[in-house]
Structures are given as structure tokens and as C-alpha cells.
Structure 1
């Protein structure tokens, strides 16, 4: 039986199926995943899961009964080895074949491996899947000295969790500041101070050149500066790589991900890609980009699902990111690359502030620490293309929520216009 087949039980894959169903798609829907578990939440893996505040069963997004009600068939522990676009057929490991009318590639991304001597030693760990989380959680119990390679979201969240467990933690970051490509320098400095206060040793402008050990187990990390660090656990968080090999081998256009249009469709009709594995033109970036975030995966997957059901709504979601470290919640709305002006609102000293980013006078992004209200306003303003002036954003007495009235007025006017 053909129908809609989705490769990957990721956020994007699940929401593609649900989006299609919700928009009236009545054909068979099948999600194929090479993992053994039902779709699950990934953000807690570096935080609550490592700290044993939530168990594996608490990560599950939806249970079997839910997918049964939605008439979505789940094929677990089934790896797709080939996509045949001409025959509209998938080859599964073991020899089985699966036909499709429409296909969504939602294969996500994988952790980038570190290519240095000693990278294969036992104790060099990554965190992307629940299996990775189970392995890392067990190792954290036994570890005393932990070296984390990479000062991005994953690295800093694992550092926060490990520090809470009383471990000796060192973070090695090649850039001159934390979250250099994602957050403002103000936020970078604030997080650096927060980790230092928690006892985490952060080395900026430093790289790991080799890992050595004894009897196959990690013991020492060698730094480019000549320093050496003792370590019985090394966690690598240096970004992700799009899982676009199946798509590329099938002949689809791939460039840092599967290239798709505003509806998630590839150049082949009926073939879609969504989430971490897809490269799309983003009006907020004013460029082609590949985004890795939960919100993007959900929204992008839904966009593909709607298109499959012939209910086309172009993808136009404001990029959103978040990270929990200690008692700090970092939230980011928009994309602040190439900004030429920044202003701060709130109190850095009290740990409640936002940084507003501008590009040629237009507000393009907002980073917030423990200021969810600012994020709510920022998302709506950026989506509508409305900017606070830098002076307004920096003035704590200015009511930024009042600016949302302009959006509400525009909505009312559009409804009142004759069709």
C-alpha cells in the first residue's frame, strides 16, 4: 500500500504527518525510523535527563495509542538504505521494500565527530540521541574530571548539568567567546561569568589537538597551547551535520542539507524535506540556511504536511532557540547575524535582561536571559516586520507590549478590506 511515507521520527517527521492529517490528507501515513523508541523529546537529554530528574519514559512525545488514533503507522528500528524516486520505493535494511506516493525526508542531523588522534578512545562521547543520553548519564556517575569540547548549546548545557553533580568541568572553546555565532557578546560574557561562578573552567581561543589514554580509556587531553588536562570523560559538542546522504544518493539537490522551496518541496514533485536536514531560503536570514532547533523542525514539518494535503502555507516562522543552564533561561528570537547595532534592556546584574539587535535600523533579533515577556513581543514584531527604535528598546520605562497594538490594528484593517 502506498501513500505518504516519512523517513525519520524527528520533530519534523512527526509534525509533517500530523500536519497532513490535520489538513485532511486521508491516505496511509507511515513513519520509518532507525531508532527503537517512539518519537521523543531531545532538549531534556542534556539537562533533566542527565540529572535523572526525568526518565526515558518521560521523553516520549506521543504513545502508540495516539498514533493509532491519527492513523499513522510507526515502523521502528527500520533503516532506510535507498530511495528510488523513479519507482517511488524505499529499500529497507534486511531487504524489505516500501512504496510511496509522497515522501518526506526528515532525517535530521548527527553530531559532528572530532578528527584528532585519540578520538576513538573509550570515554569520548557525543549527545544527540536517547541512546547517547543513556550512555553519557551512566558515564557521568563514574567520572570525576570532565572535558567538554565546544562552547555551544549542547556543551554548555552538559557543563551545567555536570557542575550540578559536583564534577570538575573544563570547557574548551576555539572561538573568542561562548555562543559566538548565536548570541550577543553581552550574553556570552554573562554566561561565561555564570559558569565560572559554578566552578566551570572555560578556556576560550583554545583547541584540543589530541586525546590519549591507558588501556583504551581516555585519560589526558592535549591542548594546542601546550597544556594538558586530566579527563576520564570527554564530551564533544562541535555542531551537527545534515543527514542528507539518502537524498543525495537519490539524485536530489543537496547543499548543506536537502534544498527545498517555501513549502518544503524539493525539485521533484511530491518529495519533501523538513527540519534539520533541509536547506531553505529564510527571509529573516536573507539567505539560504539550515536551522537546527525544535521550533523550526515542528513548524517546517507542519509546512510540508500542509503542502502534502494541498493546503499550501509558505514557511515563514521566526527562528527561535532556547537553552537552560543552571537557573538561567536563554531565549533567542530572530537571526542577529550581520547586525550593526545592539542595545540592552533590563538588568544584567540581576540576571534579567534582553539584547536587541539591529541591522540598518531594523530590529532583526532579540536575546533574552530570564525575560520571556520580551521574547513574546519580539517574536510578533519581527514576524510583522515592525521595529522598536533602539531608544525605545533601551528604555525600561517604555511599554514595549504597547507596540503590539500596531499589529492588531493591521489585522483588523485587513479583515475589513473588501475582497
Structure 2
């Protein structure tokens, strides 16, 4: 394949599939190759810990495109294949079957992988991680037969799988090293609300917990032992202690890496003609004035559109969307817009019924809204994103008064 003709995408998840779609929609009609090491065609990951895991969503709903879409759009999709090396000087990559693929433009959407728990017993049967659809299938099956589960880690994956387990009638103990769930992400004020949510649903939350060993019998897990000697019985253990970006290919190719593959606002790497998007991209955000890496669905959905434009030389290709994520746990649904580093805010204020879990939380610094989170209140996230984007000072009594229309606080009447 002539290198100067082809756009090649490495990583066939949501970001890779959306990049292929965007390239075609932007008018690229040359060779387009999508390579992924999974055998499933591209699918979305949020349902794996939400609707698909609980059985609300059918398997067919998780896929990005119908199976025929790739052939119809002349996408050379190669599944179950891994790229083992990239040679930027030759504009060529090597696959695990020994074949080579040339490229004119290359997009890395290699995503991330779960961090493994480095304790004795971590390899026992029914010690499970959640990243791929087969992982969700295993966890779902385990919940159908287990009576007691231990979830290690109280981040988004840990809490969402906990909610799914409780919905399935499984007793759950959550072990978290920090003082509260989601403490680094949300801060103490809002993290406490998620602790209350899970306790209200019968979850045994244990904070400041250090796992020393996962115990088993006959090769299968039967419990978890903590560093203080406490032992907790378990039929299944779910580990959700974070993810790490898949930077191996980029690093070995000599690209700049720093908490992911470092890219500019156009999602270009340090090497010409190579781009990165999704979980793996540590991207410069022009509104925030810094590089950030966001491990959420919205980046994998939206960054590929900008990457595709940049790969085709469009001058307007700049990624400056406000970071966004969402969760569904029990009867709580929420959306979050903004970006706040740990300790990077002055105060959190609330609008609405916090006890009844119908409210909006705002993270503020100097009376500017850094982030907003709507909980069981809908059709306001666009307004929250505008508040964050404009970085204007707000009147806090008006911001927290449910009787004051949120749109009246926005600077531009067209957003109201």
C-alpha cells in the first residue's frame, strides 16, 4: 500500500470508529485502514458498566456502527490484529502477523488498560477487571451466581459495578484507600453524597482500606485480607483501581509521551503526520491553557472529528470542548461538565434538593464556575458548559436559587 495515500487508525474502539467516520464525512476518499486487537467490531465502553452489565441494554446496542457500515464506506477493518511497531521515518508499521502497512497520516487511538492489583492471589479465578465486552459478560455471569462481592476501588468503574451488583441482589463490600469515593475527582463535598448513596443501598463501604492479599481455595477466590488482618468473604472480586494509557507503541517509536501521548490542540504528536485521540491523548486544551488527559466517553466520541480534520489539513481543527462525563448508579443519573484538579477550587455550592438527589453542584474559584454537575435534573448541561467556557464571575445567591433561571446567568442571550 503506498504510504502517501493511506490514513491508518490504530485502535478499533469508539475513537477509532468515529475517526474513520469523520474522515469519510470530511471527504477523504483514499485508502482507510482501521486496525484493532479485539475481535469485536468497534463498540462503546460506558454500557459495559451500566446498561449492558445490568441487562437493560441488548448487546447490539453497544456497537458504534452496524456490521455492514465498514464495507459500505470502504474501511479496511482488520480485527484481532496488533501493531507491534511504528517506524515514523519510513511511515510504516509492523503487525503481529509480520505484515507491514504504510501510511500517509496515522492516528493512534490505542486507549488504555486497567491497572493490575499487585498483591498475592490477584490471579485467582473470579478476580475480574472491566475493560472489554467479554469482561462485562464475565462480571454479569458472576453476579447471577454470587452472593457476596468485594469491589476494590471506589472510582467510577468500582461504583457502577457495585450498583449493578446490588441491583442483582449481591451483597457488596467496597474497599477504598482514600477517605471517600471519587475524592480526587469530585472533592469532599460531593464525594460524601456518593458515599451516602451507596450506603443507602446497603453497600458496606470501607475507607482507608489496604488490600494485602486475595485468598482462594481450589484456584477460585474466596475472600480478601486487609493489611490490618481483617478478612472479608467473597465469591467474586472486582478490581477497579484505575487505568493507564497504552503508550507503548508511541514510546518505542520515539514520540513524546507524558501521562499519555502528548499532543497539541490539533491532536498532533511530536512527530509529523502522527496524531492521537481518546484516552491515550494528553492534549493541550486552549481554554485551560494546559495539557490534560480525560479518560471519558466524550473525548473518545468528539476528539476524532478534530483529529480527522487536522489529518486532512483543515485550519479550523482545534479541540477545545469542555470535558464531560456521566454516570448512572441506582436511581441517580448525573452529568458533569468542566475540569477541576484536586484542591483547585475555593468552594462547592448547590442548587436544588441535595437530600432528594435532584440538584446541581458548582465548583467555584473566585466566583467563577470551574465545573457543574447536574444530578437527576436534565437539559441543563449545555448551560453548565457555557458557564464554564465563558469563565465569568457569577452572583452566588442567584446561582444557588432554583427560582432564578439558569439561563439568565449566561452572558449571551442566545444560550438562555
- TM-score range relative to shorter protein: over 0.9
Q: Is the 8 A contact 2:113 2:244 kept in 1?
A: yes
From 10, 24, 28, the counterpart of 2:27: 24
Q: Is the 8 A contact 2:407 2:415 kept in 1?
A: no
Structure 2 counterpart of 1:269: 272
How many residues of Structure 1 are paired with residues of Structure 2 in the alignment? 410
Say whether residues 1:350 and 2:356 are aligned partners. yes
From 388, 395, 399, the counterpart of 1:382: 388
Say whether residues 1:159 and 2:162 are aligned partners. yes
Structure 1 counterpart of 2:209: 206
From 221, 234, 251, the counterpart of 2:237: 234
Structure 1 counterpart of 2:16: 13
Say whether residues 1:94 and 2:100 are aligned partners. no
SS, match of residue 257 in structure 2: coil
Q: Is the 8 A contact 2:383 2:415 kept in 1?
A: no
Normalising by structure 1, we get a TM-score of 0.94
Q: Is the 8 A contact 1:187 1:367 kept in 2?
A: no
Q: What is the root-mean-square deviation of aligned Cα atoms in Å?
A: 1.7
**Structure 1: 5+ residue stretches without partners:** 411-419
Say whether residues 1:109 and 2:109 are aligned partners. no
Q: Write the distance in 2 (CA, Å) between the matches of 1:18 and 1:46.
A: 25
From 129, 147, 150, the counterpart of 1:147: 150
Structure 2 counterpart of 1:294: 297
Q: Write the distance in 2 (CA, Å) between the matches of 1:404 and 1:164.
A: 39
From 319, 335, 357, the counterpart of 2:339: 335
Query: Which deviates the most, 44-53 or 268-277?
Result: 44-53
Q: Write the distance in 1 (CA, Å) between the matches of 2:415 and 2:122.
A: 57
Structure 2 counterpart of 1:73: 76
Normalising by structure 2, we get a TM-score of 0.94
Structure 2 counterpart of 1:318: 322
Structure 1 counterpart of 2:189: 186
Q: Is the 8 A contact 1:88 1:101 kept in 2?
A: yes
Q: Is the 8 A contact 2:17 2:64 kept in 1?
A: no
From 362, 366, 377, the counterpart of 2:368: 362
Structure 2 counterpart of 1:372: 378
SS, match of residue 51 in structure 2: coil
Q: Write the distance in 2 (CA, Å) between the matches of 1:250 and 1:10.
A: 22
Q: Is the 8 A contact 1:346 1:352 kept in 2?
A: yes
List per-residue Cα deviations over 1:52-78 (Å, max 9, x = no partner): 222322211102322233332211111
Task: Give the superposition deviation at 1:376.
Answer: 2.4
Q: Write the distance in 2 (CA, Å) between the matches of 1:286 and 1:164.
A: 42
Task: Give the superposition deviation at 1:381.
Answer: 2.3
Q: Is the 8 A contact 2:247 2:280 kept in 1?
A: yes
List per-residue Cα deviations over 1:69-122 (Å, max 9, x = no partner): 333221111111111112211111111111111100000001111111111111
Task: Give the superposition deviation at 1:24.
Answer: 2.0
Say whether residues 1:401 and 2:407 are aligned partners. yes
Structure 1 counterpart of 2:281: 278
Pair 126,409 (structure 1): closer, same or farther in 2 beyond 3 Å: closer
Q: Write the distance in 2 (CA, Å) between the matches of 1:245 and 1:91.
A: 14
5 Å-filtered alignment, 1:121-136, equals: 121-136=124-139
Query: Which deviates the most, 160-169 or 366-375?
Result: 366-375
